[in-house]
Structure 1
């Protein structure tokens, strides 16, 4: 009786060793490139490291207290809030609307998927260059289009005006991400129970009521997943602003990410920039955890319904 039971145990041990061996390279890479830099960053926020001193002095929480008193941090935080709100709501609304239109018309969506998703796969550098051309004050496509329709009074230096710089870059960001939202939500709509939609139509529900009461509840877990991705992108925004405006003019488009980079690498205040980056991460974590829990709860409710 002991021999048969010993064989599975030996097999399980062998499989466990094999699994550990197979995952060891990945675990090692995670430790070297993720875990160690994170632990190193935690150390740097408590010292005053300028990138050169091998033994930086210990300053405790001074970097964080300075962050709280830095008016530039609060200005950048305000721009982040604008970006998070508009940069989340606009692509979600646009992507959902287009997905519903394509799904409801029952037309072939291959063309729409390619056309709308293409901007998402364009590298951020290319997006920044193209939209910088569009916003150019003299020969930019946007100003020329406004002039052509008699709205030349609205023309301006979009990236050079403190009142419009942030929103101009935000427009480029919305253009580049809404296709991702559209594609994911269109895929989710294909799993909607059409019988429920038809039943609501027979009951006299109009398109808005069918969408709100029948369609959206069924795709809500996917919608929350896309919301999480888009929202977190608002916390970590950096590339488009850095390339298109550099945070200017007059810091009008500065966000926490670009300000952290500026402090760390242009002002040689590595510890201060690292502390700000850590604050950004700590602000994003509650949103990610909360939305993820809500998504999981809705998914479980959908399975048990």
Structure 2
């Protein structure tokens, strides 16, 4: 039996003990998961309807000979995949897609870097030049295609007219009719629309480079080129990797410019995978093959993204 002197001590301990959390029926944390799911349900439904369902439908169509909504689709197994592997235009368009990505990264990304370095070195007018050079990015790719198609016109286009006025008529070309020049010419137009965004990203990155590093390099007698190689570019490492990945993703969206300017011509010389998908789906009404090409395009985008992210993470360590 406990002594009387021990009772007050236990009472005091109980008085100072922290209160025990007691879950009641009115406790709001009780159905937190249900509330969270109810709040997320509209977003999940929209994602399922507009993203997951089309993906599943595309995979299903790739195993059929679907020719549109008004036709009966029959299961054909892997026939569409075999046809895609045997179609030379598929492989040509895929190769040109890689070439298009390379052009876009070099032209749009490179021009953005050069202009960012030039604008950042100005003592005055930085805001004006940033704003002016960013304006082309606000123009839609379809409008850009129309503008540059007129610039490239072989008879009254601005480019050939300018060359003629400079007594350089021998350099005038059929920029959109020459199979060896057409993809590069169209990519110049697309890169002109995209370089402004990359320029702003590089300018933001340059503002984060420690200025004392330039002072130390100048004390050591480094030239402007050495400062660029050993100070600026290492300081832009994270921005560079981000811009390259963004440029590669944007490069996969080259449909609008190519479609407006050349429609994949001449003789499929500017056909990339996205324009060929459109041709098969809406002109040839071969939805089965178009679905296979969509899957190929998705696999390509995922592969490029995963590979580049792993390379970037490995380089960061």
Is TM-score (shorter-chain normalized) higher than 0.5? yes
List aligned pairs for 1:61-210, cutoff 5 A. 61-210=78-227
Q: 1:34 to 1:149 in 2, by over 3 A?
A: same
2 CA distance for matches of 1:216 and 1:189? Answer: 9
Partner of 2:287: 270
Query: CA offset at residue 72 of structure 1?
Result: 1.0
Q: 1:297 to 1:156 in 2, by over 3 A?
A: closer
**Is the CA contact 2:190–2:254 (under 8 Å) kept in the aligned structure 1?**
no
Larger Rg: 2
TM-score (norm 2): 0.86
Out of 186-195 and 19-28, give the one that drifted further: 19-28
1:216 is aligned, of 233, 241, 244, to: 233
Q: 1:266 to 1:217 in 2, by over 3 A?
A: same
Query: CA offset at residue 160 of structure 1?
Result: 2.6
RMSD over aligned Cα, in angstroms? 2.2
2 CA distance for matches of 1:42 and 1:244? Answer: 31
Out of 88-97 and 20-29, give the one that drifted further: 20-29
Number of residue pairs matched? 299
Partner of 1:290: 307
Query: CA offset at residue 142 of structure 1?
Result: 0.8
Q: 1:146 to 1:38 in 2, by over 3 A?
A: same
Query: CA offset at residue 273 of structure 1?
Result: 0.8
1 CA distance for matches of 2:33 and 2:227? Answer: 51
1:40 is aligned, of 24, 44, 57, to: 57
Please state which structure has a larger fraction of its residues in helix. 1
2 CA distance for matches of 1:5 and 1:189? Answer: 55
Query: CA offset at residue 38 of structure 1?
Result: 0.6
2 CA distance for matches of 1:94 and 1:200? Answer: 26
Query: CA offset at residue 134 of structure 1?
Result: 0.7
Question: Counterpart of 2:225 in 1: which secondary structure?
Answer: helix
- Unaligned residue ranges in structure 2 (runs of 5+): 1-17
Query: CA offset at residue 239 of structure 1?
Result: 0.6
Query: CA offset at residue 156 of structure 1?
Result: 3.2
Question: What do the CA deviations read for 1:208-258 (whole angstroms, capped 9, x no partner)?
Answer: 222222222232122111111111233332110011110111111111111
1 CA distance for matches of 2:119 and 2:75? Answer: 59
1 CA distance for matches of 2:124 and 2:306? Answer: 37
Question: What do the CA deviations read for 1:110-168 (whole angstroms, capped 9, x no partner)?
Answer: 11211111111101121111111111122111111011100112223322333322222
TM-score (norm 1): 0.90
**Is the CA contact 1:221–1:296 (under 8 Å) kept in the aligned structure 2?**
no
Query: CA offset at residue 5 of structure 1?
Result: 5.4
**Is the CA contact 2:64–2:73 (under 8 Å) kept in the aligned structure 1?**
yes
1 CA distance for matches of 2:115 and 2:149? Answer: 26
2 CA distance for matches of 1:103 and 1:210? Answer: 14
Partner of 1:50: 67
Partner of 2:277: 260
